[in-house]
Amino acid sequence: MIYEFRLSLRDIGIPVWRDIQVDCTDSFHDFNTYIQALFDWSSIFEHRFEITRSGGVEIPPVIIEETSMDEYEALDEEGDFADAFSEDSFDENYELDYEEAFDEDEYRPIGSYFVDVGDQATYTYFTDAVLEIEIILTEIVAAQEDATYPLCTGAENLAPEEMDDRGDILQKKAKLISVKKEELVAAINKELALLGDAISYDSEYEEFQHDLHFDDDEIYDEPYDAESDNSDC
């Protein structure tokens, strides 16, 4: 199934939003890549998803985030990173060591949390301005045979530059106003179209890297099966 989301930037003085259609089996890692393209950013800062409504009900916030380079470096310095891959780590405590070394939530499909129309999340991009985007699942539709996804279906105004602080953004907000919505949507879809090869490569590399070092049966008591986890959403 295809999910349509409305993504709205908060608290920048003017309305800035994007509508995007994506496959429900895409991962949160993929979704982050789409968001960066939608708002013309480059992923140089850390980000986080916070799920607040799932299955049509309010839920305690579920945090989905990438493991930062600082965390990797800290693990490496403490020896935990190396320990996680040593032969000694293959014991009853290994699963805990592995979870401490990596956060795999970002590779779960978005359909594992976004289930019903109205489900919501907040995406935080940790720039100097700490930009927040409200994400709402607005529609669930069947895929169109002649369509390519992800697909931007609507947009309003330009996004602030990721290097600007809050004061800069508010001072420059008038420059973000754009009346050429069709041209903006076309430009965004051009950027999204360029992501295909990179996302495919990332997924293939992750699978290759995993197969090179590990056997699933050695690592997981119950291996995560992406095909069986909401594959039809």
Give the tens place of pLDDT for each residue, 162-174. Answer: 999 999 999 999 9
Instruction: Please state the length of the chain.
Output: 233
SS3 29: helix
Q: Is residue 225 a part of any domain in this protein?
A: no
Residues 28 and 94 in one domain: no
Residues 50 and 130 in one domain: yes
Question: Residue 192 — pLDDT band, cuts 50, 70, 90?
Answer: very high
Tokens encoding 77: 């310095």
Q: Which residues pair with 22 in a beta bridge?
A: 3
Residue 176 CB contacts under 8 Å (≥ 6 apart), including other chains: 12, 14, 16, 157, 158, 159, 160
Greater confidence (103 vs 230) lies with: 230
Residues 128 and 214 in one domain: yes
Residues 13 and 93 in one domain: no
Residues 16 and 57 in one domain: yes
Residues 72 and 148 in one domain: no
SS3 168: helix
pLDDT at 173: 92
Q: Is residue 205 a part of any domain in this protein?
A: yes
Q: Is residue 226 a part of any domain in this protein?
A: no
Q: Is residue 49 a part of any domain in this protein?
A: yes
In angstroms and rounded to an integer, the radius of gyration of the C-alpha atoms of the chain is 19
Which H or E run contains 93?
Answer: none
Give the tens place of pLDDT for each residue, 57-98. Answer: 999 999 998 765 555 555 555 555 445 444 554 444 434 333
Residues 136 and 195 in one domain: yes
Instruction: Give me the number of domains the chain comprises.
Output: 2
pLDDT at 66: 77
Residues 126 and 207 in one domain: yes
Sheet arrangement for strand 120-125: 57-65, 47-54, 120-125, 131-141, 2-9, 17-23, 151-156
Q: Where does a domain end: 102, 120, 149?
A: 102
Residue 95's domain comprises 67-102
CB-based contact 195:42 (threshold 8 Å): no
Q: Is residue 215 a part of any domain in this protein?
A: yes
Question: Is pTM, for the whole model, over 0.75?
Answer: no
Indicate whether 114 pLDDT > 60: yes
Mean pLDDT of the chain: 80
Give the tens place of pLDDT for each residue, 25-56. Answer: 999 999 999 999 999 999 999 999 999 999 99
Q: Is residue 97 a part of any domain in this protein?
A: yes
CATH of the domain at 111: 3.10.290.30
Residues 150 and 210 in one domain: yes
Residues 82 and 131 in one domain: no
Residue keyed to tokens 């799932």: 54
Q: Is residue 231 a part of any domain in this protein?
A: no
Distance CA 28, CA 9 (A): 18
Q: Is residue 129 a part of any domain in this protein?
A: yes
Residues 75 and 127 in one domain: no
Residues 16 and 112 in one domain: yes
